[in-house]
Structure 1
Amino acid sequence: MGSRSEELSLVPLHQRPELMEACAQLLGEEWGKSQASRLHSLQRSSDAFPICLVLLRSWGPAELPAAEKSPCQLLGHVRLSRVVGHPHSLFVESVVVPRALRGKGYGRKLMEAMEKYARAQGFHRLHLTTHDKQHFYAHLGYTLAEPVQIMAFLSSGISAKVLRIFSAHPSPATSNLGAWVPATTQPSLPPTMVPPPPPLPPLSWMRGAPAKSYGQNLLETPHCDAKGLPIFWMKKDI
């Protein structure tokens, strides 16, 4: 994939802030939204998650192509977020390669580098969703799965203790933490009154929801995204 001096590397975007604008443009060309909105999202990347990773191609000084003004080229982007209740899992999203470079194997290179990064950080499973690339991910070893909840855009200053609370499996002793407990004792409801609704679930974010209880296959899925479009949920143990 190029000359011997060519090198591919996956690096956190917040370690290469000079690539923010190019990355925002790449994402915008694929999914829209304003440049300012994309930049704001990318600037939240941190080692505490979610984290944006970029695949770069670099050349030695003597091998820099004449058309290139920079010693490195942006080949792809991917974002990783924590999964609620699964401390050893990550959610993969915003996987994109420049259109002019597709079909050259960089999508696979991006995913392989991302998996290697996730394993090095101590994670053992990856989850993702796709509208139409399920066959691509299946070739990479991903299998159909049920939806999970993800944590997105947590402050980089959030404590590890709070993060563990979000990521830990609920226990009987803490399963009712989401319920509101009044400061004073309230009188019991008369039999004719309608009881209040159940408490809201714990603070979390969920990408998509199951439409029915039956399963999915690589051609059909019972799941849909927030816009009502069919979406495939997949996972892989790494």
Structure 2
Amino acid sequence: VELIPSTSPAHPRLAELTLGSAYHPEMTLSPGSAELILDPARQPEETPSPNLAELTLEPVHCRPELLDACADLINEQWPRSRASRLHSLGQSSDAFPLCLMLLSPRPMPGAAPIVVGHARLSRVLDRPQSLLVETVVVARALRGRGFGRCLMEGLEAFAQARGFHRLHLTTHDQLHFYAHLGYQLGEPVQGLVFTSRRLPATLLSAFPRAPFPRPPSTAPSLTAQSAPRVPKGPSLPPPPPLPEPVTTSPPPPAGPLPQSLLETQYQDLRGCPIFWMEKDIRGLPRARR
């Protein structure tokens, strides 16, 4: 998962949640005293900071005119084919996966808002009340000013307002930032690439996470019989035994979760250490509607 770097213990509060309609949710975030230091080499006064009180959190599919700007924001951090990025953002829907943008209004009336941040929420297999947070990013020129914390706390309120109880995410080196936000070390979960109202979660949970065991063969065993006798010449040797089934995924690591934020027993696809973290959002104060 792609994450923003940041470190800060402060907590701005979410003041108001405005739902314009079931398909156009909008969230208004209040200012706070957080200072997320994402790029120590950059001086905060280089770029004027948008007003935190005017930020809104909106789904990408509700603002299609901002797709290009959102793709540019993500590609600024993780370059990728523009067509592929736009296709991924175009999959956003209320049925999940769902891409959210943190927006700031332009100083001039009538101008398009500025895309400040982005994050993607996906359903989790076997956990209907959980969401997986991915592709979290804040505009490079605006880092270090509390927007990362606003984005994460906005996601939590967004998910809680829709009945979800827990958020999961992964990070390579920003676990202390997430720990300050209340996330704790957890176990890996499997995010769903797609969901459908015609495909209930109970059916999705029936799909295996590992290959099926090799079914018993109804054909005669080649190793239990000798080769057929031929009229002339020596008999043929029996064939070698069949190979063991090959598993496509390694078994989960054994033992308890590490108690220290300095070590992890999990790795990503490239073999780099990765931390799985999660947060129970049921106890959060509900945003006012």
- Alignment of 1:187 with 2:219, yes or no, is yes
**Aligned match of 1:53:** 100
1:159 paired with 2:197, answer: yes
Contact 2:128 2:201 in 1 (8 A): no
- 2:257 maps to 215
Structure (1 or 2) with the greater helix fraction: 1
Post-superposition CA distance 1:114-133 (Å, at most 9, x none): 11110111110000001111
3-state SS in 2 of match to 1:159: coil
Distance between the aligned counterparts of 1:197 and 1:44, measured in 2?
36
TM-superposed deviation, 1:31: 1.3
CA RMSD across the alignment: 3.4
Runs of 5+ unmatched residues, structure 1: 202-207
Is it true that 1:230 corresponds to 2:241 in the alignment? no
- Partner of 2:200: helix, strand, or coil? helix
- What does 1:191-210 align with in structure 2 at a 5 Å threshold? 192=224, 193-194=241-242, 197=245
> CA–CA distance in 1 between the matches of 2:133 and 2:252?
19
Question: Measured at CA, do residues 179 and 225 of structure 1 come closer, stay the same or move farther in structure 2, by a change above 3 Å?
Answer: closer
Correspondence for 1:88? 129
User: 101, 109, 118: which one pairs with 2:142?
Assistant: 101
The answer to whether 1:139 aligns with 2:180 is yes
Aligned pairs (5 A) from 1:16-95: 16-58=63-105, 64=107, 70-95=111-136
Name which one, 1 or 2, has greater alpha-carbon Rg.
2
Residue 100 to residue 209, structure 1, CA distance change in 2 (3 Å):
farther
Q: Which runs of 5+ in 2 are unaligned?
A: 1-30, 32-48, 225-240, 282-289
Q: Within 2, Cα distance between the matches of 1:121 and 1:41?
A: 23
Q: Are the aligned partners of 1:21 and 1:39 in contact in 2 as well (CA < 8 Å)? A: yes
So what's the TM-score if we normalise by structure 1?
A: 0.77
Equivalent position to 2:56, from 3, 6, 9: 9
Counterparts of 1:141 and 1:22, CA distance in 2:
31
From the superposition, tell whether residues 81 and 69 of structure 1 become closer, same or farther in structure 2 (CA, over 3 Å).
Answer: same
**Amino acid of the structure 2 residue aligned with 1:39:** L
Match of 1:93, SS state, is: strand
- Using the TM superposition, give the Cα deviation of residue 105 of structure 1 relative to its aligned residue in structure 2, in angstroms: 0.5
- Number of matched residues? 216
**Would the alpha carbon gap of residues 5 and 211 (structure 1) be closer, same or farther in structure 2, given more than 3 Å must change?**
closer
